[in-house]
Amino acid sequence: MTFLKRSKNCGELRSQNIGETVILNGWVHSRRDLGGLIFIDLRDRYGITQLVIRPELTPDVAEKAKPIRSEFVLWAKGTVHKRESINSKMPTGEIEISVEDCDIINPSELPPFEILDELDASEELRLKYRYLDLRRPALQNNFIIRNRVAQITHSFFYENNFIEIETPYLMKSTPEGARDFLVPSRIHKGKFYALPQSPQIYKQLLMVSGFDRYVQIVKCFRDEDLRSDRQPEFTQIDAEMSFVEQDDIIAVFEKFFKRLWKEVLGIEIQIPFPRLTYKDAMENYGSDKPDTRFEMKLHNLNQIFANTEFQVFANTIASNGIIAGFNAKGFGSYSRKQLDELTEFAKKYGAKGLSYIKFTDNSISSPILKFLKQEDIENLKQIFAVEDGDLLLIISDNWRTTYTALGALRLEIAKRGGIIESVKGQYNFLWVIDFPLFEWDENASRWVAMHHPFTSPNVSDLDLLDTNPGEARANAYDIVLNGVEIGGGSIRIHNEQVQKKMFDLLGLTEKQANDKFGFLLQALKYGAPPHGGIALGLDRLVMLLTGTDNIRDVIAFPKTTSGLSLMDNSPSEVDPDQLRELGLKI
Amino acid sequence: MTFLKRSKNCGELRSQNIGETVILNGWVHSRRDLGGLIFIDLRDRYGITQLVIRPELTPDVAEKAKPIRSEFVLWAKGTVHKRESINSKMPTGEIEISVEDCDIINPSELPPFEILDELDASEELRLKYRYLDLRRPALQNNFIIRNRVAQITHSFFYENNFIEIETPYLMKSTPEGARDFLVPSRIHKGKFYALPQSPQIYKQLLMVSGFDRYVQIVKCFRDEDLRSDRQPEFTQIDAEMSFVEQDDIIAVFEKFFKRLWKEVLGIEIQIPFPRLTYKDAMENYGSDKPDTRFEMKLHNLNQIFANTEFQVFANTIASNGIIAGFNAKGFGSYSRKQLDELTEFAKKYGAKGLSYIKFTDNSISSPILKFLKQEDIENLKQIFAVEDGDLLLIISDNWRTTYTALGALRLEIAKRGGIIESVKGQYNFLWVIDFPLFEWDENASRWVAMHHPFTSPNVSDLDLLDTNPGEARANAYDIVLNGVEIGGGSIRIHNEQVQKKMFDLLGLTEKQANDKFGFLLQALKYGAPPHGGIALGLDRLVMLLTGTDNIRDVIAFPKTTSGLSLMDNSPSEVDPDQLRELGLKI
């Protein structure tokens, strides 16, 4: 149980240390016994250093080294020597330690998988033995980067006069949108706290309190059916500012991203970022989080087909729908089967069908060829800069379906064509602005807030709340990077009457609004400043910075998609006494 | 809804700005209408600036200013002028703004209490309107200090090679000691997550993973019956280090405290701090968290009363108990009634009685005077350096009761005598070490861990686990400041067999140990490094740094002692649908 404490770590010795006597502590990364020589690669967070034991010179040490296997914890004392064969791939590759004494601090059973970056163990097994999986240098590096992001965040906002204030985790349940995780109260039986889906209301109240600039790196919780890129608990960089407009918040966060990219990746990104309205994003890219690293833009074709004889298109135009398409460059050779696949793909996004026009071997083929006038074809060729070998994909449906399905197809084509792969390492930031304030929920037959109920309408659209809420735009903005929404925010409502009207439009009675949000409405009566903010998804941000597409690679102890922790088997059954104390029955 | 954005804040204008045209935004702190002149003190987080409106010169502005009342939000544009009567108490006291234009951004109803540091509103009312209470500059200052503490923490540990890693909030319920808050799982009905009482096991697993040095500012949760200085959620500065001994952890944290006190208070504290064994702390101060800012030490009197005829003392000695006391300096004039109060006070701590000896007017009075030989009195006088006017307080009972009750009396006397008040501003840090590993739980008839079940025994006491567990000391340490325990830690068990023995001694069957902590036992099989750590209570630390004795003064949105949030009325009833989805009944 005692050990010689390290004088150096396993990553820091260089040729200038030659001749020094050092003590190292660490894990056996590998062990090679060449008879006359025993080599041990000793690993810690800082690197790997080669130990050499010479049985001829130090038979006692060789004897102690006999039982040593992978992942044993050792201490080793010795002298730094120049290596005979220098390993230029390792920072410590110029030296090795000639071991004078060593011993086992803690042995290890044979691990269920090797601690290697390229490992073929199932993710299930790796999650069960997460503490071993986390020994892999590639995975450790993700957390070192995550830590740097956190550090830069703390410093940047501190330097910019933001105050980190902790908001409560045990709060009021006000489900609006997603489901809350509930926490039963023992003292007040039958009552519940909720875990925060976001500190939204609390940070607004901090603005009412006059804290002026708030930031927090904070865990949030949503009890949703999980998708592969979601976790029940996730981390936000959450900020709020007073006496500001949209431009002020955007400016602060552009500087923040610039600093992050510079300090973490050494990359200079250009600010300001482009801004795209929601409408333009949808009509050009078929997405409110467009990946602009490549073009392949969508085009509206209503004009071209204004007098078409193709009944499907004519009907679409008659019903105020949209005909649009894009050039799947170089996909002209797609077979009937492949095109059928694309049609099925488009249908998943609500499209009723997919029209295509192939330009191959200087001829044109298309199921709708007979409806196309020569003029139409020339127009299409010009709009889409068609070359031989191209494929036009066209959808006609209502505005949302046409653009959403085309946007999904655009990404699918980019993936199949290797475009996504070819733009790796490129970082295209952009702001999407002027979102609609509301979406119409067909099932509930009512308006729902596209962002959340505290988002301010654009000042110029205030009157639309009374006349045509569906047309009102929100003073909201999303930050998008390479087709991923990494955050979003808005200017909030600071006027009690507007907030009440908002709740009313969302179908809350006055009583419901007061029960849920009475404390916010009350606060707005006592001099709330104009304010707004933003929240970034830290997990996604770190995924983009580390280049992983698995969210579990950036969370130390993640859950599976069904919310299980395979390591500790939570959630688990609890003692009946615990439930009795809470006054709960299953 | 529109406003002129500030060019300056309300705390930064000085005489060198005279002549500049500025725009300010803020809250009306006060308004005085002198007929010919209207003065408005405008407040924001950064300070207060005086605005002057001259109805003669700007009748329109005066008209707009008419409805302005306290806590209205304004914008004001004007020129910086030298004040006629300089207010040297305010940083902005040399100047005022001659208002050229201004308007109301948001009005305020009359607040339920005035926004003043010296306010007489009940805490209940202030908690209900917390967003208004938080406008008080003194309270805001607490959060500015808390933010600085957080910043220094992030920087200090980053510079010292610690990695901030987020541990899960939805974890396994392993109640050991305090009660868990539970979170029902919707996907796995009848199963529960628990909120962390501390990230203890996870940070140990991070050491097993080789992260080497971990730190986190993290919320923890305990569902306990609350005392006035407790909150159901509280914040820890939580750290863990590998390949270390007690001295290494103590050294890092002494440097941390030194930096905190220097940067937050501008005070140089001396390191290293004194270390006191648990036994010495108890026998000298009657506390495992002694306030050493004043002496009034306890003394063992068994020797003196070895042959006493006073039956109570003789019985104590015969039953291996302890007779001890201290000199309540200057309390010799205490009346019979006051001494009875002290006796009642001592009884609350388990003492069966309290003996006293008064030295006043050069005479001695005591109910036990007849049992005291002249020699005893001389001895007592010498030990306690008795002067005329002093009062000796003596208790005889078992070791724990005697010292605990005397320790409580010592603090009570210090409070009554104004000593606590007189040592304000003094900071006495010390480490208490060598705690017992176990305490005997009379009710459960079993050992319980004094720290937690993962604490390592002192290496030299390992054998005692088999022979005499009650005598085994823990490799644990508490950091105490001015009589407040602000943190504690230990070297952990990194050996699977020792950990199993520990669980066994704590009365867990092998099955129970595996059900609860199987993943930890498993992890210890694969090369766990020696490791240890510490957790500091951030809330208490900030209380000491800000000089408040109310924990709610350092938490933005605190709960009452019954776990209520008076502002948002949580915990609250939830929708029956929410419970149905969770498969729960009340």
Q: B184 in contact with A at a CB cutoff of 8 Å?
A: yes
pLDDT value for B446: 87
b/e A130-150 (16+ beta carbons within 10 angstroms → b): bbbbbbbbebbebbebbbbbb
Q: What is the pLDDT of residues B319-348, one digit of tens each?
A: 999 999 999 999 999 999 999 999 999 999
Q: Residue A137: which residues within 8 A CB-CB, separation 6 or more?
A: A117
Chain B residues 190-219 with CB within 8 Å of chain A = 190-195, 201-202, 205-206, 208-212, 219
- Among all residues of chain B, which has the CA nearest to that of A137? B210
CA–CA separation, A420 vs A414, rounded Å? 6
Closest CA to B176 of B508, B577, B483, B429: B508
Angstroms from B586 CA to nearest CA on chain A: 5
Do residues B476 and B460 make contact, with C-beta atoms less than 8 angstroms apart? no
Q: Does A575 touch chain B (CB under 8 A)?
A: yes
Per CB-CB distance under 8 Å, the chain B contacts of A169 are 169, 195, 219, 221, 233
Average pLDDT in the B10-21 region? Answer: 97
With DSSP H G I counted as helix, E B as strand and the rest as coil, what are the percentages for chain B, rounded to 5? 30, 25, 40
SS3 B155: helix
Tell me if A197 sits within 8 A of A172, measured CB to CB: no
* Minimum-distance CB partner of A182 among B564, B565, B574: B574
- Chain A partners of B168 at a C-beta cutoff of 8 Å? 233, 556-557, 559, 565
Q: Does B245 reach chain A within 8 Å, measured CB to CB? A: yes
When scoring A68, A223, A243 by the number of chain B Cβ atoms within 10 A, the one with the most, hence best to mutate, is: A243
Strands A73-82 and A21-33: antiparallel
B143 vs A contacts (CB less than 8 Å) = 163, 165, 211
- Give the pLDDT confidence of B178-224 residue by residue, as tens digits: 899 999 999 999 999 999 999 999 999 999 999 999 999 999 999 98
Number of other residues whose CB lies within 10 A of the CB of residue B460: 10
A562, B187 contact by CB (below 8 A)? yes
B22 shares contact with chain A (CB less than 8 Å): no
pLDDT band at B176 (very low <50, low <70, confident <90, very high): low
Q: Which of B177, B174, B207 is nearest to B517 (CA)?
A: B174
Contact assignment for A27 to B525 by CB distance below 8 Å:
no
- Work out the minimum CA distance from B563 to partner chain A, whole angstroms: 8
Please tell me which residue of chain B has the smallest CA distance to A205: B131
Instruction: Give the closest-approach CA distance of A570 to chain B in angstroms.
Output: 5
Strands B95-106 and B47-53, by their bridges, are parallel
What is the spatial distance between Cα A36 and Cα A198, in angstroms, rounded to a whole number? 62
Predicted-assembly ipTM surpassing the 0.90 threshold: yes
SS (H, E, C) A419-465: HHHHCCCCCCEEEEECCECEEEECCCCEEEECCCCCECECHHHCCHH
Could you say which residues of chain A have pLDDT below 70? Answer: 1, 176
Decide: helix, strand or coil at residue A131: helix
- A412, exposed or middle or buried, with CB in 10 Å at 0-12, 13-18, 19+? middle
Share of chain B above pLDDT 90, in %: 89
pLDDT at residue A176, rounded to an integer:
67
pLDDT in tens, B367-393: 999 999 999 999 999 999 999 999 999
Q: Which residue in the block uniquely carries the two structure tokens 């009907």?
A: A315
- Overall average pLDDT of the B570-577 stretch: 90
Q: How far apart are CA A524 and CA A207, in angstroms?
A: 11
Select from B41, B128, B193 the residue whose CB has the most chain A CBs within 10 Å, as the one to mutate to test that interface: B193
Residues 6+ apart with CB under 8 A from B61: B53, B99, B100, B101, B102
CA distance A352 to chain B (A): 34
pLDDT at B369: 92
Inter-chain touch B130–A205, beta carbons under 8 Å: yes
Q: Could you say which of B71, B182, B526 has the minimum Cβ distance to residue A527?
A: B71
How big is chain A by its Cα radius of gyration, in Å?
A: 30
pLDDT tens digit sequence for B108-117? 999 999 888 7
Position A182 scores a pLDDT of 95
pLDDT digit string, tens, across residues B410-457 = 999 999 999 999 999 999 999 999 999 998 888 888 888 988 999 999
Do B527 and A572 count as a contact with CB atoms less than 8 A apart?
no
Closest alpha carbon to A570 in B578, B201, B571: B201
pLDDT at A501: 95
Distance CA B434, CA B476 (A): 6
B572 phi, psi to nearest 5 deg? -135, 170
Q: How far is CA A460 from CA A146, A152, A465, A473, B81, in A?
A: 41, 37, 11, 9, 37
With tokens 């002026």, the residue in question is A212
Distances (CA, A) of A365 to A334, A343, A390, B453: 12, 16, 11, 75
Q: Is the pLDDT of residue B1 over 60?
A: no
Any idea which residue has 């305090």 for tokens?
Answer: B178
Per-residue pLDDT tens over the stretch B293-304: 999 999 999 999
Give the closest-approach CA distance of B75 to chain A in angstroms. 10
What is the CA angle B107-B109-B115, rounded to 5? Answer: 100
Tell me phi and psi for residue A276, to 5 degrees.
-125, 135
In 10 A of CB B501, how many CB atoms?
A: 17
CA distance A34 to chain B (A): 24
Q: What is the pLDDT of residues B153-172, one digit of tens each?
A: 999 999 999 999 999 999 99
Q: How high is the pLDDT of residue B445? A: 85
Whole-number pLDDT of residue A230: 86
CB contact, 8 Å: B72 with chain A? Answer: yes
The residue of B182, B524, B538, B552 whose CB has the most chain A CBs within 10 angstroms, and thus the best one to mutate to test that interface, is B182
The Cα–Cα gap between B384 and B284 comes to: 13
d(CA B531, CA B525): 15
Q: Tell me the C-alpha to C-alpha distance, in Å, between residue A91 and each of A14, A47, A88, B206, B511.
A: 8, 8, 7, 24, 47
Residue A228 is predicted with a pLDDT of: 76
Q: Return the DSSP state at A113.
A: S
Distance CA A584, CA A458 (A): 46
Q: Do A527 and B106 lie within an 8 Å CB cutoff?
A: yes
Minimal Cβ distance to A108: which of B105, B526, B559: B526
Contacts of A563 in chain B (CB under 8 A): 170, 185, 187-188
Tokens of A376: 């139409």
> What is the β-pairing status of strands A429-433 and A275-277?
parallel
Position A348, amino acid: K
What one-character DSSP code corresponds to residue B41? E
What is the CA angle B246-B250-B254, rounded to 5?
175
A vs B, Cβ pairs < 8 A, gives: 355
Q: Which residues from chain B sit within 8 angstroms of residue A170, using beta carbons?
A: 181, 221, 232-233, 559, 563, 565, 570-571
- Find all residues with CB under 8 Å of B211, minimum gap 6, and list them: A45, A134, A140, A143, B163, B165, B242
Q: In this structure, is the dihedral angle defined by the CA atoms of residues A107, A110, A112 and A114, taken in order, positive or negative? A: positive
Q: Which of residues 503-542 of B touch A (CB under 8 A)?
A: 519, 522-523, 525-530
Q: In which element (H, E) is residue A1 found? A: none
Q: Do B140 and A209 touch (CB under 8 A)?
A: yes
- Predicted confidence (pLDDT) per residue in A134-161, tens digit: 999 999 999 999 999 999 999 999 999 9
User: Among A198, A115, A229, A289, which Cα is nearest to A492's?
Assistant: A198
Among chain A residues, CA nearest to B193: A571
Q: Is B152 on the interface with A (CB under 8 A)?
A: no
Cβ B539 vs Cβ B219: under 8 Å: no
Coil, strand or helix at B315: helix
Q: Which two tokens stand for residue B486?
A: 């602000």
Mutate to test the interface with A, among B31, B148, B192 (most CBs of A within 10 A): B192
Contact A586 B584 (CB under 8 A): yes
Tell me whether B43 touches chain A (CB under 8 Å). yes
Find, in chain B, the residue whose alpha carbon is nearest to that of A586.
B584
- Cβ distance B166 to A219 less than 8 Å, yes or no, reads yes
Residues of B (340-399) whose Cβ lies below 8 Å from A: none
